[in-house]
Amino acid sequence: MKNKNFILIIFLGIFSIPAFAQVNTDSLFQNAINLAKEKKYDQSISEAKVALDSDKNRGDILVFIANVCSWQGNNELSKTYLDKARELSYFSPDYYESFTNVLLRSGEFVDLLQKCDEAEKNNYPNKEDLLLKRMIARSGLKQYDEGVNLIEEPENKEFLRSEKIDNLYTDLLLKRNTHIISAFYSLDLLSHDFAPQQLASMGYSFKVGEHTWAFRANYANRFGMNDVQLESDFYWMLKNAHYMYFNYGYALNASLFPRHRVGLEYYFPLGNKFEGSIGGRYLNFPTSDVLIFTGHLGKYFGKSWVSVRPFYVYKLQDKTSSLSFIGNYRLYGKNALNYWGVEVGLGNSPDDIYSVSSGGFNQLVAYRIKLERNFMLNRVSDLHIGLGYAREEFGTITTQFRNRLTVELGYKLRLK
């Protein structure tokens, strides 16, 4: 009887070993998962490796380790663990989700597209996830047309219910549609019985490779005079977010605008979401020439942007100088075309077309504030509304001040 009991114990022990090993592996793996949730990544990887040592055929543990490595920013090491899972023929949904995430984080967009195709062939169930990653890859590769066509396929339009995909679709359209038609109108109402002042412009811009070229016609009707200015801007894109701005304008009558206007400015990033620029302007009026030195310092934080721009103005004829400032704040919505803005100014800004079209640039005292609202009408057009107030000095014999109320309206349409 004793021998029979002994044999039974041995028999049960032999068959319980695999079950105990399985329980032990799962327990270690669960502990690794819990450590990862607490962001104790190094400890989590160590625990997962122990679990893997007890069962080297666990593709899910390999994928988990790959994920944690990627969360730590080590995407190359992450891919080695994913390759080991592939050697085990572990092609589950979590494998493809993890591999595409790693390629997305590392910016390997060509490989990401290939992996998405492979996942689809192997019946990866999350089609929305694949669509989003393919769109991001197309945007990263600057294949904007392909990205737009992808979401516009009949079987994919249902995914526009996703806010991420909807926003990305709009972003791809804006990047693809680089031919922009713009219109602008402003009305100034002055105190002291001055007649309303009007300003209007029409513009067209387009891409030349990575660069942007813009043409614009400005019309001013102020103080009983009319003038037309033809203007062109060129943005020359350099490496690493550096670029140059060139401007030239010519006035037909030079009664309100300067006969010649020349601008040059160099823009550069400063790190920590700061940006800066330095440049100058030259304004040639019939009675004077004006040299302007300017630049700006701006910073993004969250969805906000603030900047300050000074102007040092020197009039060549009478050798006088002045200093003026503009400050801006913008609060952005879901993209760069949706924002609220506030602009404040001290002095007459040489970059402000209102100032230079007031019968010649002057250096009198002025205090200005303007509230702006820019929003998209649809995916390819936006509207700009501005309301401003200024308290400004006028007259050359006696010091007088007047109030200026400005209402402005702008529209842009982006075409393919």
| Dihedral, 22, 28, 30, 31 alpha carbons, nearest 10 | 160
Q: What's the pLDDT score for residue 399? A: 72
Same domain, 223 and 149: no
- Return the SS3 of 320: strand
- This prediction has a pTM of 0.81
Query: Are 182 and 206 part of one and the same domain?
Result: yes
In a domain, 305, yes or no: yes
Residues 57 and 103 in one domain: yes
- Token pair recorded at residue 49: 């490796």
Q: Helix 2-37 crosses helix 59-71 at what angle (to 10 degrees)?
A: 20
Is the domain of 317 the same as that of 387? yes
Residue 269 pLDDT: 95
The predicted pLDDT at position 363 comes to 56
Query: Where among 175, 191, 226 does a domain terminate?
Result: 175
Answer whether residue 340 is part of any domain.
Answer: yes
If you write DSSP's letter for every residue of 57-72 in order, what string do you get?
A: T-HHHHHHHHHHHHHT
Could you tell me which residues are beta bridge partners of residue 303?
none
The three-state secondary structure class of 135 is helix
| End-of-domain residue from the set 175, 205, 237 | 175
Q: For the chain, give the percent of residues with pLDDT over 70.
A: 89
**pLDDT tens-digit series, residues 299-356:** 999 999 999 999 998 988 888 888 889 999 999 998 889 999 999 998 876 666 555 5
Nearest in space to 263 (alpha carbons), one of 250, 275, 249: 249
Give strand pairing partners of 123: none
Residue 201 lies in a domain: yes
**Domain-embedded: residue 383:** yes
Give me the CATH number covering residue 237: 2.40.160.40
Report whether 298 contacts 274 (CB < 8 A). Answer: yes
Total structural domains within the chain? 2
Q: Look at residue 283 in the predicted model and tell me its pLDDT.
A: 93
- Weakly modelled stretches of the chain, pLDDT under 70: 1-23, 193, 349-364, 395-398
Q: Is residue 196 part of a domain?
A: yes
- Asked whether residue 12 is domain-assigned, the answer is no
Domain boundary among 175, 210, 232: 175
Residue 371 CA: distances (Å) to CA of 31, 131, 295, 384, 398: 55, 39, 23, 11, 31
| 159-208 tens-digit pLDDT | 999 999 999 999 999 999 999 999 999 999 988 767 788 999 999 999 99
Looking at the structure, tell me whether residues 306 and 200 fall in a common domain: yes
- For residue 104, tell me if it sits in a domain: yes
Are 184 and 168 within one domain?
no
CA-angle at 165, arms to 161 and 170, nearest 5°: 105
Question: Which residue range(s) make up the domain with 293?
Answer: 178-415
Q: Do 30 and 158 fall into the same domain?
A: yes
Do residues 190 and 208 share a domain? yes
In a domain, 17, yes or no: no
**What's the CATH number where 30 sits?**
1.25.40.10
Do both 304 and 196 map to the same domain? yes
Asked if residue 368 and residue 229 are part of one domain, the reply reads yes
